[in-house]
Amino acid sequence: MQAVQRVRHRQADVGGLDVFFREAGRPGQPTVLLLHGFPSSSHTFRETMPTLADVAHVIAPDLPGFGMSSSPTVGDYDYTFENLSRTIEGLLDQLGVERFFVYLHDFGAPVGYHLATRAPTRIRGLIVQSGNAHDDGLGEQWDSARAYWADPTDEKRAELPDWLNFAGTRDQYLAGLPDRLRTLHAPESWHLDWERMSRPGNIDAQFALFTDYANHVARFDELAEYHRAHQPPALVLWGRHDPYFDVDEVLAYHRALDRMDAHIYDGGHLLLETHAAECAELMRTFVLDNA
């Protein structure tokens, strides 16, 4: 009988911040670092962790400003993806993690790529789920963001979509989905996200990260060189209805990486909400094949 791998819920003090993380599996197994995106938290991995923990030591932190981790104001914490990566690096050091697979989703992608480019030998492989590293995935839906990044005026900000509210939080889960898939999403996910985003000062923190995403896009050539030079094995998972990152991004990874397996599902941006079992099995096999 296969042992059930239970998830532990823990807190760590990293540089004065309370960082909440979920942990499963046993140290000594290959580590998988699961990095969530906007507007979610480690909650997004709740159904994948027990399956993956059968073969791996799994760590899923809530990034600062998200979930159950501390949410300092923009005056008390530098909300850049590089700084988020420093906080996560501090957590890994506390846990004694040296090498790891990294799951890159949405805002988790720039965090993970900072870890990867700073220390390429630490990365066993990439698991990419709607995590962008090429221009191919940023379609015309990003035009207003690009305009704001190039000229961050009040006028350009007024032209941005109004997404830092409850409706925008819900849309991260449901936008672009046909009715048959919308009904598969449990509403408590976006209610939890919005409750945490509503903390004092958090909207400013989220906008600061959106603004810093321009620096992630500016690093695409650097990431291309990382892919070329180090050729990490990769598993790419995508929802074909994702309205934020175009499926063309999958082919961009295919062109960049020699060892890359891709799976496109009938899902959306928060793919694990509807396809956790399928993705968990693929992740489990990927770890076994590349450990």
3 pLDDT band, cuts 50/70/90, is: low
4 pLDDT band, cuts 50/70/90, is: low
pTM of the model: 0.97
H or E stretch covering 224: helix 220-230
Antiparallel, parallel or unpaired: β 8-14 and 123-129: unpaired
**pLDDT given for residue 125 in this prediction:** 98
- Quote the mean pLDDT of the chain: 96
Cα-Cα-Cα-Cα torsion 237, 240, 246, 250, nearest 10 degrees, comes to 40
Q: In what order do the strands lie in the sheet with 8-14?
A: 8-14, 17-24, 57-61, 31-35, 100-104, 123-129, 234-239, 260-265
Share of the chain above pLDDT 90, in %: 97
**What residues act catalytically?**
269
Q: pLDDT of 41-72, one tens digit each?
A: 999 999 999 999 999 999 999 999 999 999 99
**pLDDT given for residue 29 in this prediction:** 95
Q: pLDDT of 23-39, one tens digit each?
A: 999 888 999 999 999 99
**pLDDT given for residue 1 in this prediction:** 39
**pLDDT given for residue 244 in this prediction:** 97
Domains of the chain: 8-289 (3.40.50.1820)
- Using CA atoms, how far residue 115 sits from 57, 83, 87, 99, 200, in Å, is 18, 11, 11, 11, 29
